[in-house]
Structure 1
Amino acid sequence: MNTPPIHDTLPGGAPGTAVPPTAAPRLYSPAQRGFSIVELMVAVVVGLLAVMFATRLMVNGEQSKAASVGGSDAMQNGMLALFSINTDASQAGWGLNDDLVNGCNTRMTDTQGFTLATATRDGAVIRPLAPAVIGNGGTGSDTLTLYSGSGLAGVGSTQVWQNYMGGTTIGVANVAPFGFSAGDVIVVAPEPAGADCALAQLSAPPAASVLQIAAGAASRFNTGNLGVLYNGGQARVFNLGPAGKLSFHTWSVTDGVLQLRATDLAGTGAQPQAVVGNVVALKAQYGFDTRTGTAFIPKAGMQVGRWSSAMIDADGDGSTGAAGDWQRIAALRIAIVARGAIPERPAAGQATCTATTAPLTLFSTAVPAGVTASSVQVALAVPNDTVSWTCYRYRVFETIVPIRNAGWRP
C-alpha cells in the first residue's frame, strides 16, 4: 500500500508542500554536545598535576614542621639539662675548699649505694673529694661529679685532740663553735696533708668534746669505724652539714637520657634516675689556674690558664693528680648535646638521611681571651637506637662555670 504524502506548511513554504518520507526530526543541536575523549584526557592530566603539586606542598610542609619541632625539642631539652648541671656546679666545693680536704683521697661508705668518683694520681686509682671530678669518655659522653656540703661553718674545723685508733668515738678540741649536731656529715683530714681522709656521720649529739660515729639504720655513712688512724693534734674535723642536704651528685648520659645519682635524692644513691631525654652527650673540661710561685694567690682570685679534659700537673710539682692539682681547678667548661625528638626521613631518591652529616666539635672557642681552646669531637650515635644518628638535628649548649668556692680557703 502506498503511503500518502504528508502535507504540511513549512517555514517559508507554501501550504500543502509534500515532506519526503525519509526525513526525521533532529533530537539535539550542535551546541548541546558533551566532552570529547581529548577533553577528558586533558582534564585528567591537569587534575593529576594539581594533586602532585598539592602533595609535594604537604610533604614539604610536614618536613619543615618536623625540623622546627625537632629544633624546639632540642632547644628545650638542652637548656633544661644545662641549667640543672650549672646549678650544681655554681655551688660546688662548699665546705671542701680547705687545702687539707680539697683533693684528699677519701674513705666513704653509704648504705644507699652512692660511691665517690674515681680518678688517678700518678697512675694509681683514688677517690678525691674536690669540687668536680670528670670521668673522661673520649669521643663518648663524660661523667661529671660535683661535691658540696651545706654546713654553715663553711671551712671551719676543729682539731682531733686524742689519738684515734679506731672505734665509734672521736675526741676533739671543741665542738661548740661549729654547730655539730646528730645526723651531720663530717670529714676527718690529716694535718699536715698526705694520708687519706675519712667521711662519716654523727650518730648522736656531741658531748664533752666527743663525736659519736656508731653504725645504725639512721647513720647511712657509718660502719662504726673511720677506717683510718689519726694522731692527736695531727688531724682536723670539718662539718659538711646535715646528711639529707649533702649534695654529692654524679651526672651521666645513658642511651640518650641525662641521668643523676645523688646523696640528697631518695632512691638515687646506687641507681641513677632519668632527668632529661634526647640528650646525646655531656662533655666537661677542667679550667686550671697554672700560675706558678708567688703569682698564684687564690685569695686574690682564680684565673683559667689552661683547659683540659683530663687531670694535669697543674701546680708543677711533678705529680699528676696530687691534691695541689685539684686545688688549681678555677672553672668548669660544660657542654650538652641535645637532639630533636622526631627523626627526619631520607630525601627522595636517597637511602640515608642527611639532616646531620658529621660528628660535632665542642669547646673550639678560645675563652677567656688568650687561653688556647682544647676542642673535642663527640660521637652522636646513641646505643640501641634503631634510627641512624644522621636523621636527627642537634643543638649544642656550652657554658663556663667559675668554681667560686676555690678562692674561699683559709
Structure 2
Amino acid sequence: MDVRPQFPVPRAARRAGFSLVELLVSVVVGLLALMFATRLIVSAEQNKATSLGGSDAMQNGMLALFSLNGDAAQSGWGLNDDLITGCNSIFSDTAGFALAPATRGGAAITPLAPVVIESNGANSDRISFYTGSSASAVGSVKLLANYAGGPALTSDTNAAFGFADGDVIVVAPEPAGGNCALAQLAGAPVGAQLNITPGAAYRYNRAGGLGNNYGPGQARIFNLGPGAKLALHSWSVNRGILLLRSSDLAGSSAQPVSVIDNVVAIKAQYGFETRAIANYSPSRNGMQVGQWSGPMIDADGDGVVGGAGDFLRVAAVRLAVVARSKSAEKPNAASGQCTASTAKPVLFSSQAPATVPAAPVTVEVAVAGDPLDWKCYRYRVFEAIVPIRNAEWRP
C-alpha cells in the first residue's frame, strides 16, 4: 500500500505547448530574422547587379575601343599620297555607301583621308576610317590621253602590271587642287587602256564615266586594290548602340548595322602636326602632335580650314568610348533621385604628349527614348591615342 502523500498537480503543468506570450515573441523574432535575411539578399543582389553592370560596361567599352583602334591603325593605306589625301572626291556606290561630309573654306566636300571626324560638340561623333588593300600601296601611273568622259582611260604605261579586274582606282589631278574621282575596273586592262564601264559587278562605276575631266598628263591613276576589300568604315552611336556603316560588310553599305549595345558615346580628336616648317615633309621632318581638336583647323597655316594640307597634317587620332552598365540602379529611397552617377564623363582631359595641352570635352550620355534618368546608370570611359602611321609612310 502506497502511503506517499498525494499533492494536487497544477492545471498549467499538465498542459502541453506555448503560451500566447511565447508564441508572439517567437513570431516577432521570426519576422525580424526574415527582415534581416531579405535585406541581406536584396543587398547581395544589388551588389551583384552593380558588379555585373560594371563588367558589362567594361567588356562592351573595351570591345568598342578595340574595333575603332584597329580601323585607325590601318587607315590611310593606299591613300597617303599627297595628291590623294584630303582630295575632294567624286564617289558613287550602287550599294549605297557614302563618303563622310566635311567643309573646306565653308563649302561642302567629301574628302578622301585616313580619318574624317564629324565633330558634334557634347554629342557623339561620327568617325570614318578609309583603307585601301592594294599590294602596291600607293603605286600609280600617269594619265596619258585627255579624258572628257566615257568608260576608257589611257595610261602612260602598260596597265596590265599592277591593275586587275575589279580593282578600285582613284584619278587625282596633278598638281593637286582639283577633284579626285573613284571608279572600278570593268575587266582586265588591255595594254595601257583601263575600262570603267558600269555593270552589276562594278558597284563604284557611274554612267558617263568619272564625272570630272582631266587633261593629258595632268592626273595620276592610283590603285586601291580589289573592290571587295576596300574598307570604308563609318562608326556612330544611336540610342545606346554602336553602329557601323561599311563598304566591305554585306548589308551595311546603305544603312549602318548594330555592333555593340550599351555604348552611349564615341568621340574623336585629330592630332595635328602644327610646326611651321618651310616645305614641310614627313619623310624629312617626321610627324608629331602639336594640337588636339575635334573640329578641323587650319593646321598648315594657308588660311583655309579643311584644306588638303590640313588632312596631310593629321599625325594621330585620339579616340574615346563611353559605355554604361546594362542595368539601371534604383533611385534613392529618401530623395527619389538616382545617384549611381552624379556628373557626366569628361573625355580627353589629360595631356598627351606631356607638352601638348589637353582639349577636354564633357560628353552627353543620356540616351534618347530612355524613360530613366542618365544618373541611374554607371559609366566607364575608355581612351586611346592611335598614330596614323600610313600618313608618315608617305611616298
User: In which range does the TM-score fall when normalised by the shorter chain?
Assistant: over 0.9
Letter paired with 1:60:
S
TM-score between both structures, scaled by the size of structure 1: 0.92
Letter paired with 2:386:
V
Q: Residue in 1 aligned with 2:183?
A: 200
Q: Confirm or deny that 1:123 pairs with 2:106.
A: yes
Letter paired with 1:163:
N
How far apart are the structure 1 equivalents of 2:393 and 2:149? 32
How far apart are the structure 1 equivalents of 2:226 and 2:126? 26
Q: Confirm or deny that 1:342 pairs with 2:327.
A: yes
1:10: Cα distance to partner? 5.0
Residues 178 and 126 of structure 1: is their aligned pair in 2 closer, same or farther, counting only changes over 3 Å?
Answer: farther
1:145: Cα distance to partner? 0.4
Residues 9 and 112 of structure 1: is their aligned pair in 2 closer, same or farther, counting only changes over 3 Å?
Answer: closer
How far apart are the structure 2 equivalents of 1:228 and 1:295? 30
Structure with greater Cα Rg: 1
Q: Residue in 2 aligned with 1:327?
A: 312
How far apart are the structure 1 equivalents of 2:253 and 2:152? 27
Most deviating of 92-101 and 352-361? 352-361
Give the percent of matched residue pairs that are identical in Structure 1 and Structure 2.
58
Q: Which of 226, 230, 233 does residue 210 from structure 2 map onto?
A: 226
**Corresponding residue SS for 1:293:** coil
**Corresponding residue SS for 1:367:** coil
Q: Residue in 1 aligned with 2:345?
A: 360
Computed over aligned residues only, the root mean square deviation of the Cα atoms, in angstroms, reads 1.8
Q: Which of 236, 257, 261 does residue 245 from structure 2 map onto?
A: 261
How far apart are the structure 2 equivalents of 1:148 and 1:97? 10
Q: Residue in 1 aligned with 2:385?
A: 400
1:49: Cα distance to partner? 1.5
Q: Which of 275, 281, 295 does residue 310 from structure 1 map onto?
A: 295
Output one character per residue of 1:158-184: Cα deviation in whole Å (capped at 9) or x when no partner: 000011011110111114485100100
How far apart are the structure 1 equivalents of 2:264 and 2:196? 42
How far apart are the structure 2 equivalents of 1:391 and 1:203? 56
Q: Confirm or deny that 1:109 pairs with 2:92.
A: yes
Most deviating of 176-185 and 366-375? 176-185
How far apart are the structure 1 equivalents of 2:337 and 2:158? 68
1:359: Cα distance to partner? 1.1
1:85: Cα distance to partner? 1.1
| Equivalences for residues 20-59 of structure 1 within 5 A | 26=9, 28=11, 30=13, 34-59=17-42
How far apart are the structure 1 equivalents of 2:2 and 2:216? 146
Query: Contact 1:178 / 1:239 at 8 angstroms: preserved in 2?
Result: no
Q: Residue in 2 aligned with 1:276?
A: 260
Q: Which of 257, 261, 271 does residue 287 from structure 1 map onto?
A: 271
How far apart are the structure 1 equivalents of 2:54 and 2:377? 9
Q: Confirm or deny that 1:67 pairs with 2:47.
A: no
Output one character per residue of 1:180-210: Cα deviation in whole Å (capped at 9) or x when no partner: 0010000000001111000000011111201
1:53: Cα distance to partner? 1.1
How far apart are the structure 2 equivalents of 1:185 and 1:250? 19
How far apart are the structure 2 equivalents of 1:25 and 1:372? 99
Most deviating of 49-58 and 303-312? 49-58
1:297: Cα distance to partner? 3.6
1:11: Cα distance to partner? 3.0
1:34: Cα distance to partner? 4.3
Runs of at least 5 residues in structure 2 that lack an aligned partner in the other structure: none
Residues 406 and 25 of structure 1: is their aligned pair in 2 closer, same or farther, counting only changes over 3 Å?
Answer: same
1:127: Cα distance to partner? 0.4
1:41: Cα distance to partner? 2.6
How far apart are the structure 2 equivalents of 1:191 and 1:141? 37
| Equivalences for residues 73-92 of structure 1 within 5 A | 73-92=56-75
Query: Contact 2:113 / 2:130 at 8 angstroms: preserved in 1?
Result: yes
Query: Contact 1:158 / 1:175 at 8 angstroms: preserved in 2?
Result: no
Residues 9 and 157 of structure 1: is their aligned pair in 2 closer, same or farther, counting only changes over 3 Å?
Answer: closer
How far apart are the structure 1 equivalents of 2:279 and 2:221? 30
Query: Contact 1:139 / 1:378 at 8 angstroms: preserved in 2?
Result: yes
Q: Residue in 2 aligned with 1:378?
A: 363
Query: Contact 1:381 / 1:388 at 8 angstroms: preserved in 2?
Result: yes
Query: Contact 1:162 / 1:233 at 8 angstroms: preserved in 2?
Result: yes
TM-score between both structures, scaled by the size of structure 2: 0.95
Q: Residue in 2 aligned with 1:17?
A: none
Q: Confirm or deny that 1:11 pairs with 2:18.
A: no
Query: Contact 1:315 / 1:325 at 8 angstroms: preserved in 2?
Result: yes
Q: Confirm or deny that 1:143 pairs with 2:136.
A: no
How far apart are the structure 2 equivalents of 1:260 and 1:234? 37
1:42: Cα distance to partner? 2.3
Runs of at least 5 residues in structure 1 that lack an aligned partner in the other structure: 1-7, 14-23
Query: Contact 1:153 / 1:178 at 8 angstroms: preserved in 2?
Result: no
**Corresponding residue SS for 1:387:** coil
Q: Confirm or deny that 1:240 pairs with 2:224.
A: yes
Q: Which of 217, 226, 237 does residue 200 from structure 2 map onto?
A: 217
How far apart are the structure 2 equivalents of 1:209 and 1:157? 13
